[in-house]
């Protein structure tokens, strides 16, 4: 199976096959990729998510496991590290905060241009400044 390209900082959903007795079911695991390691067929990646009661859950998946049915990249993140182990120390919202990356371009919020009203006042982002 061909898996999509992903790297540390990306939010992924791994659909993993669970075998319980004679039953087989698929369990999705969604989280942030915090590391990739290894070479060749022994390559693995670690995914971290915040579970119930704010407890962090990390899971290591072999990249070439036949039990991975599907891997979906939900969001791509921009990070400056290959290993995001520092997310373990973060609590709550900070533990899942990673800048978004669109292609290789970082999208900045738009800046509205000043608008001049009829009375000569300049309006910038809902603030009115009187011109002199």
**64-109 pLDDT, tens per residue?**
999 999 999 999 988 899 999 998 887 777 766 677 766 554 444 4
The answer to whether 34 and 90 are in contact (CB under 8 A) is no
What pLDDT shows up at residue 106? 47
Q: Is residue 3 part of a domain?
A: no
Q: Tell me, what CATH number does 26's domain have?
A: 2.30.30.790
Question: Could you tell me the residue range of the domain that residue 94 belongs to?
Answer: 11-100
How far apart (Å, rounded) are the C-alpha atoms in residues 14 and 5?
13
The answer to whether 64 and 82 are in contact (CB under 8 A) is no
The answer to whether 34 and 98 are in contact (CB under 8 A) is no
Would you place residue 120 in the very low, low, confident or very high pLDDT band (cuts 50, 70, 90)? low
Count of structural domains, the chain: 1
Q: Is residue 43 part of a domain?
A: yes
* DSSP 8-state symbol, 8: T
How far apart (Å, rounded) are the C-alpha atoms in residues 12 and 34?
11
How far apart (Å, rounded) are the C-alpha atoms in residues 26 and 46?
19
Rounded percentage of the chain residues whose pLDDT exceeds 70:
71
């Amino acid at each position: 199976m061909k898996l999509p390209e992903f790297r540390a900082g990306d939010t992924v959903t791994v659909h993993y096959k669970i075998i319980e007795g004679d039953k087989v079911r698929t369990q999705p695991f969604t989280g942030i990729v915090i590391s990739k390691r290894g070479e060749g067929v022994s390559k693995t990646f670690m995914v971290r998510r915040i579970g119930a009661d704010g407890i962090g859950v990390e899971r290591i998946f072999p990249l070439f496991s036949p039990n991975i049915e599907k891997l979906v990249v939900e969001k791509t993140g921009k990070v400056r590290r290959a290993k995001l182990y520092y997310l373990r120390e973060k609590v709550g919202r900070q533990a899942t905060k990673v800048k978004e990356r669109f292609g290789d371009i970082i999208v900045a919020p738009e800046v509205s241009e000043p608008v001049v009203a009829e009375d000569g006042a300049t309006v910038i982002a809902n603030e009115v400044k009187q011109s002199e």
